Amino acid sequence: MLKDNSVYLPEEAYLSKREFPSIILASLKGISQVIFIENVVSGVIILIAITIASYQLGIIAFLSSMIGTLIGKIGGANEKSVDSGLYGYNSVLTGIALTLFLTGPSQWIIALGGAVIAAIFAAMMVHFMKNSTLPILTFPFIVLTWFMLLVSYRLKVFQLSNTLVPQSLSHWELDIEGEVNWTEGIFNGIGQVFFLDHTLSGVLLFIAVFWAGWRLGLYAVVGNAVALLAAYGLGGEHSLIILGLYGYNAILACMAVATVFSTEDNRFKSISGIAAACLTVPLTASTSTWLLPYGLPALTMPFVLSTWLFLGARKVLPTL
Amino acid sequence: MLKDNSVYLPEEAYLSKREFPSIILASLKGISQVIFIENVVSGVIILIAITIASYQLGIIAFLSSMIGTLIGKIGGANEKSVDSGLYGYNSVLTGIALTLFLTGPSQWIIALGGAVIAAIFAAMMVHFMKNSTLPILTFPFIVLTWFMLLVSYRLKVFQLSNTLVPQSLSHWELDIEGEVNWTEGIFNGIGQVFFLDHTLSGVLLFIAVFWAGWRLGLYAVVGNAVALLAAYGLGGEHSLIILGLYGYNAILACMAVATVFSTEDNRFKSISGIAAACLTVPLTASTSTWLLPYGLPALTMPFVLSTWLFLGARKVLPTL
Amino acid sequence: MLKDNSVYLPEEAYLSKREFPSIILASLKGISQVIFIENVVSGVIILIAITIASYQLGIIAFLSSMIGTLIGKIGGANEKSVDSGLYGYNSVLTGIALTLFLTGPSQWIIALGGAVIAAIFAAMMVHFMKNSTLPILTFPFIVLTWFMLLVSYRLKVFQLSNTLVPQSLSHWELDIEGEVNWTEGIFNGIGQVFFLDHTLSGVLLFIAVFWAGWRLGLYAVVGNAVALLAAYGLGGEHSLIILGLYGYNAILACMAVATVFSTEDNRFKSISGIAAACLTVPLTASTSTWLLPYGLPALTMPFVLSTWLFLGARKVLPTL
């Protein structure tokens, strides 16, 4: 998404042996595109971060990215987009999420099937968002994962993990007790972008981001910090703050609004980025509440909503 | 939607006696447009299929189609669209659904009022979807019917049939026991497009489809078959499979994706059609789960979502 | 929205002392834009109507309008739109709604913060709706307020007023008993546009509308009347009819469809306006039902849905 892609441009349109390396590279970029990076090295570091937390998850992440990339190739998508990994990142997240939130023997097949649909969904969204000239972000992954998890109430083969429990809003009690471990909160924040709550993985993810550019890294750190403070100051549940669940959306929104999708005209882009990061905190709260009766996780919806809000408004309020 | 309409082009723009036959023909085509057919004979066969299952329903279906067509005429819509029955089919489905899911003395009036709004809603959607160049399908009918059924909790005159019961997701138990009667499942599948679970009606509907073209008929049969197998294989409730509730969305999606809205470029259109049919199975499961707390039926939403997914993705992935 | 704005066009693009009066005037127009009026006198009358009902609410309304206008100025929006008050009205409603539905010491700050986001949201919607050429109406206010209220279940600082209680649909009982006080119903209808159920405020609001034009006033009265009758005839809860909760959406929809957004071509615009007003009654019923499990108020969503339905359909059915 950020830089030009000039490594392995295949000479033939059909799939051949000579395209194989280009697919591998595109798949690694697909993993890094989850955090707006088009860079093979960052992709490898992220893949290591995932694999440290869980062997199985690392395999699923890489296979999902390859599936998304292949769908793009076979479907005849714009070659540059496919090679940049833009058909991979929604599949990566869908594959990981379905592996984590489902259980039982068919878990793997469903996760990889989800990766297929995620790539088709991404293509559809590219078409739908064309007129608005806004990026599709991780919207296909979010909506698809919600739908796939709800399937489990009706089809036996889909078995929901017992971490997802539907609750009635009328019996909900907010409990924010407990100490906040700030170090854990910081590294879990970036880890949660890939559903990881493992400190070393968090450290590696920060390295992957800084490798791609210090500016990106800076906004990732800033977005995380303001969100942790905002969540604490507004009285969020301390257990969720420690798990990084108030941080990952803020990191993504801050990077997207302040640097990835900004131009020279956006004079207040740093302020907008910080505001977008802060806004993900109440958005995380309300999205979770809205999904409570269905027992679904908010995923990266707060990031998508906050980012679309600022990027869309910019078309009319250009200084933002 | 499929063929040219060259039968009765009225010479005057206003409603006159000479237009009367054209309105009747457009209304019959409106009934066949529910399954993508623009053909008076198929419309008559379908009307007979509905009337066999219920006298009252046949009258409502025809009157609703006429209402939709009239709204198109009076509103000054594109004449060709009106004469093709494109302002009728959402009204037909709305009229039938409201008659079935409501009860009490005002049931008929509400159903016909719903047919009026369905035609206006269809016009609005045509405008909204213009930029995306995708067909509106049965979206107006679905959303309107959901809204009209929810009204019953607040206005005494709207009386909900006792088949629709809101349930909490936390108390939901999946029970897939029981034998599957495959013959019933097959003919109920197509019958459920018009809310019918009457075997003879199902046979007539298949005849109506084959009359319009063997290719359409073939994909209807294939879509139905793969969905029945997928629903069974994924562990769907056997009672729902027998009722055809996993079949009707698949039939529509398979026809739409594989033939009605496909072009020469779509090399994999048969595969896409079958994939779209399969996808309606988990989509039926998740849509039903999502609507469970409101006690609403999924209607043809799984078909609309699956079809939009593939038709939209095609604009970016042309071989699909 | 209605008339040309030729009062105080600032000569400089940046904020200066000389712009101060133009901001005040734009803020007053922002208050009147809630009911489609661009008129300082009407804005002042409405502000008095609000202040009579509650001192605090009057201050919040004015400050929110100023915040929205300032966001428009600083963001670099189209100057004419800002000076017409089009960046103010969503902020006004958001500020008032959050003050009323939240409680606790941070209530004021949250309300004014909401006004900031409402203006950014309005800008985003202007961009999103550009292709459809439909007005954004009060959509940003509605969705933002719903999100902000749901936050209260997760962040301690947001404290929900105890009037909003989530309820399960399965335990819902409709009770329409009690006498209807028609006079209260009439003046509360227009008052509820600004969340007021104070008869004198209602009288002042009618004066503000008639001051802006007799045609606007006429359709406000007609919309209110047909909705009261429709709500009574369809068996709506009498307590809600008296509170004006079936009236305010109808007033806005009737004004919007019959006059504000109509042209010469729309031959049936009066009938459409009345139909749009009637339609808000079932839409109020179903929106409330849909929101019941979350304990959220319908706000002006029925007005937005009914108005979009008719204005969108008009692009295809021009006589409506």
What are the tokens at C319?
């006589």
Strands C102-103 and C159-160: antiparallel
Q: What is the DSSP string of B127-171?
A: HHHTTTT---TTHHHHHHHHHHHHHTTT-TTSEE-TT-----GGG
May I ask the CATH architecture of the domain C177-314? Orthogonal Bundle (1.10)
> pLDDT at residue A8 above 70?
no
A112: nearest Cα among A158, A69, A54, A67:
A67
C-alpha B294/C-alpha B284 separation (Å) is: 16
pLDDT of residue C235: 93
Mutate to test the interface with B, among C132, C289, C314 (most CBs of B within 10 A): C289
- pLDDT tens-digit profile of A224-283? 999 999 999 999 999 999 999 999 999 999 999 999 999 989 999 999 999 999 999 999
pLDDT of residue B18: 62
> pLDDT at residue C221 above 60?
yes
Among B132, B172, B285, beta carbon nearest to A151: B285
A310 in Cβ contact with C117 (< 8 Å): no
Contact B121 C309 (CB under 8 A): yes
Contact A312 C123 (CB under 8 A): yes
In B, which residues are within 8 Å of A75 by CB distance? Answer: 313, 316-320
Among C75, C127, C146, beta carbon nearest to A319: C75
How far does the CA of residue A172 sit from the closest CA of chain C (Å)? 8
Top-tier CATH class for B19-160: mainly alpha
Q: How many CB atoms lie within 10 A of CB A295?
A: 17
**Phi and psi at residue B103, to the nearest 5°:** -145, -175
A145 in Cβ contact with A299 (< 8 Å): yes
Contact A235 C151 (CB under 8 A): no
Residues of chain A with a CB closer than 8 angstroms to some CB in chain C: 131-132, 168-170, 172, 174, 176, 231, 233-237, 268, 279, 281-286, 288-290, 292-293, 308-310, 312-313, 315-320
- pLDDT tens-digit profile of C252-310? 999 999 999 999 899 999 999 999 999 999 999 999 999 999 999 999 999 999 999 99
CA dist list (Å): B242 to B136, B174, B201, B232: 29, 16, 15, 10
Contact B156 C316 (CB under 8 A): no
Contact A236 C154 (CB under 8 A): yes
Percent share of chain C, pLDDT over 90: 80
pLDDT of residue A10: 40
Band (pLDDT 50/70/90 cuts) for residue C17 is low
Q: Where are the domains of chain C?
A: 17-160, 177-314
Chain A touching partners, 3 or more CB pairs below 8 A: B, C
C-alpha C122/C-alpha C135 separation (Å) is: 11
pLDDT of residue A185: 86
pLDDT of residue B246: 93
Instruction: Label residues B277-313 b or e (16+ Cβ within 10 Å = b).
Output: bbbbbbbbbbbbbbbbbbbbbbbbbbbbbbbbbbbbb
> pLDDT at residue A6 above 70?
no
- Which residues touch B201 (CB under 8 Å, ≥6 apart)? B49, B50, B52, B53, B187, B191, B194
Contact A169 C295 (CB under 8 A): yes
Closest chain B residue to C171, measured at CA: B166
pLDDT of residue B15: 54
> pLDDT at residue C2 above 60?
no
Q: What fold is seen in the domain A169-314?
A: Ammonium transporter fold (1.10.3430)
**Average pLDDT for chain C:** 91
Distance between the two ends of chain B, CA-based, in angstroms?
A: 21
Q: What is the CA radius of gyration of chain C?
A: 19
What are the tokens at A260?
């990835």
Residues of chain A with a CB closer than 8 angstroms to some CB in chain B: 71-72, 74-78, 117, 120-121, 123-128, 131, 146-151, 153-158, 165-168, 293-295
Q: What fold is seen in the domain C17-160?
A: Ammonium transporter fold (1.10.3430)
CB pairs under 8 A between B and C: 107
What are the tokens at B157?
């005159």
pLDDT of residue C18: 62
The strand pairing partners of C103, in sequence order, are C159
Instruction: Note the maximum CA span of chain B.
Output: 61
pLDDT of residue A18: 62
Provide mean pLDDT across the span C215-225: 95
CB pairs under 8 A between A and C: 108
Percent share of chain B, pLDDT over 90: 80
CA dist list (Å): A49 to A36, A207, A208, A247, B18: 17, 10, 9, 18, 75
CB pairs under 8 A between A and B: 108
Contact B127 C169 (CB under 8 A): no
Contact B151 C290 (CB under 8 A): no
pLDDT of residue C145: 97
C-alpha A216/C-alpha A224 separation (Å) is: 12
C-alpha C188/C-alpha C245 separation (Å) is: 8
| SS3 state at B106 | coil
In C, which residues are within 8 Å of B75 by CB distance? Answer: 313, 316-320
pLDDT of residue A15: 53
Contact C124 A316 (CB under 8 A): yes
May I ask the CATH architecture of the domain B178-314? Orthogonal Bundle (1.10)
pLDDT of residue C52: 94
Band (pLDDT 50/70/90 cuts) for residue B164 is confident
pLDDT of residue B73: 94
Among B75, B117, B166, beta carbon nearest to C320: B75
In B, which residues are within 8 Å of C131 by CB distance? Answer: 131
Provide mean pLDDT across the span B111-119: 97
How far does the CA of residue A22 sit from the closest CA of chain C (Å)? 36
Band (pLDDT 50/70/90 cuts) for residue B21 is confident
> pLDDT at residue C4 above 60?
no
Mutate to test the interface with B, among A91, A102, A124, A164 (most CBs of B within 10 A): A124
How far does the CA of residue B131 sit from the closest CA of chain A (Å)? 8
Chain B touching partners, 3 or more CB pairs below 8 A: A, C
> pLDDT at residue A179 above 70?
yes
Provide mean pLDDT across the span B66-81: 94
The better pLDDT of the pair C180, C103 is held by C103
C-alpha C196/C-alpha C123 separation (Å) is: 27
In B, which residues are within 8 Å of C174 by CB distance? Answer: 153-154, 156
In C, which residues are within 8 Å of B151 by CB distance? Answer: 282, 285-286, 289
pLDDT of residue A180: 84
C-alpha A270/C-alpha A272 separation (Å) is: 5
- Which residues touch C80 (CB under 8 Å, ≥6 apart)? C5
Contact B309 A151 (CB under 8 A): no
A96: nearest Cα among A120, A68, A135, A72:
A68
**Given CA atoms B213, B218, B221, B223 in this order, what sign does their dihedral have?**
negative
Provide mean pLDDT across the span A31-59: 95
Among B131, B151, B167, beta carbon nearest to C285: B151
Mutate to test the interface with A, among C98, C110, C121, C124 (most CBs of A within 10 A): C124
In B, which residues are within 8 Å of C317 by CB distance? Answer: 71-72, 75-77, 120, 123
C-alpha C70/C-alpha C30 separation (Å) is: 11
- Listed range (A170-179, A209-218, B50-59) with the worst mean pLDDT: A170-179
pLDDT of residue A298: 95
How far does the CA of residue A62 sit from the closest CA of chain C (Å)? 35
> pLDDT at residue B2 above 80?
no
Contact B153 C132 (CB under 8 A): no
Closest chain B residue to A113, measured at CA: B279
Contact A151 B282 (CB under 8 A): yes
Residue B42 buriedness (CB in 10 A; 0-12 / 13-18 / 19+): buried
Among C127, C146, C150, beta carbon nearest to A316: C127
Q: At what angle do helices C40-53 and C55-75 cross, to 10 degrees?
A: 140
- Which residues touch C192 (CB under 8 Å, ≥6 apart)? C243, C244, C245, C247, C248
Chain C touching partners, 3 or more CB pairs below 8 A: A, B
C257: nearest Cα among C221, C212, C217, C311:
C311
CATH topology match: C17-160 vs C177-314: yes
B42 in Cβ contact with B32 (< 8 Å): yes
pLDDT of residue A30: 96
Closest chain C residue to B165, measured at CA: C170
- pLDDT tens-digit profile of C130-168? 989 999 999 999 999 999 999 999 999 999 988 888 888
- pLDDT tens-digit profile of B168-219? 888 788 888 888 888 888 888 899 999 998 889 999 999 999 999 999 999 9
Band (pLDDT 50/70/90 cuts) for residue C170 is confident
Provide mean pLDDT across the span C200-205: 93
Among B169, B176, B235, beta carbon nearest to A294: B169
Give me the numbers of helices (H) and strands (E) for chain B, helices first please. Answer: 14, 2
